[in-house]
Chains A and B, each alone.
Chain A
Amino acid sequence: MIKIENAQIGHQHLLISIDELKLPAGQLYALIGRNGSGKSTFLHSLIGQLPLRAGQLSLGNFSVQALQNDHLLRATHVSFVASMFPGIDALTLHAYVSLGRLPYLGAFGRMQDKDLSFVDEVLSRLNLTSLAHRATQNLSDGERQLASLARAIVQDTPYMILDEPASFLDYFNRELLLEQLQNWVQSNANRTAIFSSHDIDLCLEKGIKLLVLHEQRLTLLEKPTKKEVMDLL
């Protein structure tokens, strides 16, 4: 359960103000809002990268402040997929995805057999097995986006936050991504995922709960219709 109370969010000036919001676990939420409405800012606050200006925010049993102070706890509690991964010289897709296991590894960062088989399994679920040994800077933007999702899944946290994870994906991979995210939250009652998106139609079609960001307010629509969303935006 994500709980937000009396929160003021923003960098230099106030962007979002939330009196009370509770997001039950076991669900997938899509964050919708116009350009510049503060979607990324909100997501950065959720993962503790941007401190709240005021108020309370907690993911499950831990407040974001508590997570900020305990590196390892945070790494095993919440994973984050950034909107862009540029790819890195000499870093293979397999090695990139494997970095998701880092919080669980010993001092020298060696992967055990169970870590490796977990990575392989996730790669095959996302149809990435054939690309496993390609260098990440030689992949397409979309392939890198799927790799980032794989890395977050492999990190195996109860909370997953994704910043426009589908912006470079083609139609089929968008379907794959949403399907994988829905499976991910449904396979464990403790899991919650929030992703930002501009693809309102696809989210409505899949029956995904919407968090609509508009005029500094955040509204949860449990069973949204297109008209409701459009009226808000």
Chain B
Amino acid sequence: MKRTSFPVLFFMLALLIALSCVHLFGLQAQGISNRLVFWEFQFPRLLSGVLAGAGLSLSGLLMQNLFQNPMAGPYVLGINSGASLLITILILGAGPTVLNQLSYASAAMMGAFLAASFMFLVAKRVQNIQSLLVIGLMFASFTGAIESVLQSFAAPEQIKQLFIWNMGSLQQMSAAQAPLLAVFVLVGIVIALFLIKGLNAMVLGDAQARQLGVKVNFLKVSILFVTALLAGSITAYCGPIAFIGLAIPNLARAILKTQDHLVLILFSVLAGSCFLVAIDVLILLLDPWMSIPVNVLTAAIGAPYVAYLMLRRR
């Protein structure tokens, strides 16, 4: 690890703690006087920001490594859409009984894994990222179309439930779900840390990674698994949240100028959390005047940054 990385990582950690304090004690309306409100609403809200930010940017980092392309991410490649589709089927109760037995989280993870595997197979055929991104977009439109058809058969309450979920929000997760999401994200991070050697070698491409002793196929399946675990569970509890997975890892490489995945993983996790908590702080600040969904803000900040990255690559 480069020594210059330590101050940056330490700064991100300090920033995260500061933002969390502002979020928790400074802004949430009822203050901390009411313990029930604190543990049932305020703390889970902060926790979902921290976990979703960390998990989404880590899954973006892993996907960029898997696709060997810095423009990959769970949202642009339709991984969220796969999760969305299965969630829609679940909420509308339109699926076969087996599927209806599943929880949100497992349905979303399954959808994410299927979508990730599909995109990975597509990526083997099309080499350039433009085609891949277009196919990701088409995949998202296609699942969107199926969702619309399903919705036309749905009852109004179900549609309302879906609509709220689709906006993306950090307030959906209940106190009971919080430990579950925490476990999913932590397991994802820990597995990713054990993949560091392979991830570092994969930067040189499949053939060279094999020559350096990496079990490339095992690594790829592991990445798909971790990505689905992270993107799927987060999408289930917080709705589809855009752009964090794409933008944060690129920011990490731009700032730290390294391809050492230990540093990149730690930075992405911390910066992703900081970004999403900061967004939620903004939402809380604006709350007296208007209520803005998370996705609106992540897109407003993330989309121009991603466009800038594309332009810089020419």
Which residues of A come within 8 Å of B, CB atoms?
Answer: 47, 49, 71-72, 74-76, 78-80, 82, 85, 88-92, 95-96, 99-100, 102-103, 105, 107-110, 135, 155
Q: State whether B262 touches A89 (Cβ < 8 A).
A: no
Q: Decide if A102 touches B203 in the complex (CB within 8 Å).
A: no
When distances are taken between beta carbons in the complex, the residues of chain A under 8 Å from B256 are 90
Q: B253 near A107 (CB under 8 angstroms)?
A: no
* Nearest A residue to B200, CB-CB: A109
Which residue in B70, B197, B200, B260 is a CB contact (below 8 Å) of A107? B197
CB < 8 Å neighbour of B213 from A89, A92, A102, A108: A102
| Smallest Cβ-Cβ distance to B257: which chain A residue | A90
Residue pair B213, A103 in contact (C-beta under 8 Å)? yes
In the bound complex, residues from chain B placing their C-beta under 8 Å from that of A49 are: 207, 210
B101 on the interface (CB 8 Å rule)? no
For residue B148, CB closer than 8 A to chain A, the reply is: no
> Is B258's beta carbon under 8 Å from chain A?
yes
Q: Are A103 and B259 in contact (CB under 8 A)?
A: no
Given the known interface contacts A88-B259, A92-B257, A95-B260, the answer about A75 and B212 at a Cβ–Cβ threshold of 8 Å is: yes
Q: Contact between A47 and B211 (Cβ–Cβ < 8 Å)? A: yes
Given A95-B258, A109-B262, A74 contacting B197 (CB threshold 8 A):
no
Q: Is the CB of B212 within 8 A of A99?
A: yes
Q: Is the CB of A71 within 8 A of B203?
A: no
Which residues of chain A are within 8 angstroms of B204 by Cβ–Cβ distance? 85, 88, 96, 99
- Specify which chain B residues have a CB less than 8 angstroms from the CB of A85 in the assembled complex: 204
Enumerate B64-84 residues with CB–CB distance to A below 8 Å: 70
* Nearest B-chain residue to A74, judged by Cβ: B213
Measured between beta carbons, the chain A residues less than 8 angstroms from B259 are 88, 90-91, 95
B211 touches which one: A75, A108, A110 (CB < 8 A)?
A: A75
Residues of A within 8 A of B230 (CB): none
Total number of A-B contacts with CB less than 8 angstroms?
Answer: 73
Q: Tell me if B257 and A72 are in contact (CB < 8 A).
A: no
Bound-state CA distance A148–B161 (Å) is: 56
Give the shortest distance, in Å, between B243 (CB) and chain A (any CB). 20
A108 touches B253 (CB 8 A): no
In the complex, B224 has a CB within 8 A of chain A: no
Candidates B193, B208, B257; contact of A82 at CB < 8 Å = B208
Q: A82-B207, A99-B200 are in contact. Are A107 and B212 (CB under 8 A)?
A: no
Report B217 CB to chain A, min CB distance, Å.
11
A-B contact pairs, 8 of them (CB 8 A): A71-B210, A79-B211, A80-B211, A90-B257, A91-B258, A102-B201, A107-B197, A110-B1
Cα(A96)–Cα(B201), bound, Å: 9
Q: Which of B211-257 contact A (CB under 8 A)?
A: 211-215, 253-254, 256-257
Residues of A within 8 A of B15 (CB): none
Kindly name the residue among B201, B211, B253 whose own CB sees the greatest number of chain A CB atoms within 10 A.
B211
Q: Which residues of B contact A47 (CB under 8 A)?
A: 211
B197 near A75 (CB under 8 angstroms)? no
Given pairs A89-B253, A96-B204, 12 additional interface contacts (CB within 8 A): A47-B211, A74-B213, A82-B207, A90-B254, A102-B197, A102-B212, A102-B214, A107-B194, A107-B197, A108-B262, A109-B196, A109-B261
- Give the nearest-CB partner of B260 in chain A: A95
Best-buried of A107, A109, A135 by chain B (most CB within 10 Å): A109
Distance of A103 Cα from B213 Cα, bound (Å): 6
> Do B213 and A75 touch (CB < 8 A)?
yes
Given contacts A47-B211, A110-B1, contact A88 B194 (CB under 8 A): no
**Docked complex Cα distance between A133 and B241 (Å):** 37
A209 to B24, CA, bound (A): 73
Q: Which residues of A contact B207 (CB under 8 A)?
A: 49, 82
Q: Quote the shortest CB–CB distance from B269 to chain A (angstroms).
A: 15
Binary per-residue interface labels of chain B (184-210) against chain A in the complex, 1 for a CB within 8 Å, 0 otherwise: 000000000110110011011001101
Residue among A49, A82, A89 with max Cβ neighbours from chain B (10 Å): A89
Distance in Å: Cβ of B204 to nearest Cβ of chain A: 7
User: Which residues of chain B are near A89, meaning CB under 8 Å?
Assistant: 70, 253
Give, as a whole number of angstroms, the nearest-CB distance from B157 to chain A. 49
Q: Which B residues are CB-close (under 8 A) to A75? A: 211-213
What is the bound-complex CA distance between A74 and B213, given in angstroms?
Answer: 7
Q: Can you list the 8 inter-chain pairs with the closest CB atoms, starting with the nearest? A: A75-B213, A109-B197, A103-B213, A91-B259, A90-B253, A102-B212, A71-B213, A72-B213
